[in-house]
């Protein structure tokens, strides 16, 4: 995951000094009102992937679209605008004909390196367990509906 190679990302000590929270335990009670709007911006379906691509090097729109298999033009455009608005991505107009635009990850975007790497690694390690749980759930649901008939 190239998020782990982010050039400008703060190291773990810098992050720990900014975030007064234990590393393995969420503080209770959860402050949902404070965190929900932030998590809605960073925990959506394309943010991790877009920032992972940009972490390695800046990219133009069409390059991002090619590298993010399955993303639509509209979804990428909206995601990039949202990321720029939130300070996670910068947008630079290039003096080319036709005019080009290049997107790059910001220092704030790079600060997501550790949590994104943890989520990425968790998904690789636990993907098979999720698949197994889903199959077991689906099987039990089908059997339950058969029993009702």
DSSP letter string, 93-117: EE--SS-EEEEEE-HHHHTTHHHHH
Cα(34)–Cα(37) distance, integer angstroms: 7
The number of residues in the chain equals: 149
* Helix intervals (H) in 26-72: 32-42, 47-56, 61-67
Instruction: Give the pLDDT of residue 21.
Output: 45
- Whether residue 119 is predicted with pLDDT greater than 80 in this model: the reply is yes
pLDDT at 24: 64
Specify the pLDDT at position 6.
Answer: 53
Check residue 149 and give its pLDDT: 58
Identify the band that residue 124 occupies on the pLDDT scale cut at 50, 70 and 90. Answer: very high
Cβ proximity of 105 and 84 under 8 Å:
no
Min mean pLDDT across 10-14, 28-32, 54-58, 109-113 is at 10-14
């Amino acid at each position: 995951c190239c998020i782990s190679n982010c050039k400008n990302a703060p190291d773990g000590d810098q992050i720990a000094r900014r975030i007064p929270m234990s590393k393995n335990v969420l503080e209770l009670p959860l402050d949902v009102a404070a965190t929900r709007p932030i998590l809605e911006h960073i925990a959506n379906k394309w943010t991790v992937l877009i920032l992972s691509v940009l972490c390695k090097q800046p990219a133009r729109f069409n390059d991002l679209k090619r590298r993010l298999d399955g993303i639509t033009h509209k979804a990428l455009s909206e995601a990039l605008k949202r990321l720029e608005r939130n300070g996670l991505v910068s947008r630079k107009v290039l003096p080319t004909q036709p005019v080009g635009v290049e997107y790059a990850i910001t220092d704030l975007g790079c600060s997501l390196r550790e949590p994104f790497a943890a989520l990425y690694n968790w998904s690789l390690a636990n993907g098979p367990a999720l698949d197994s749980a889903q199959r077991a759930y689906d099987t039990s649901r089908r059997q339950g509906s058969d029993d009702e008939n």
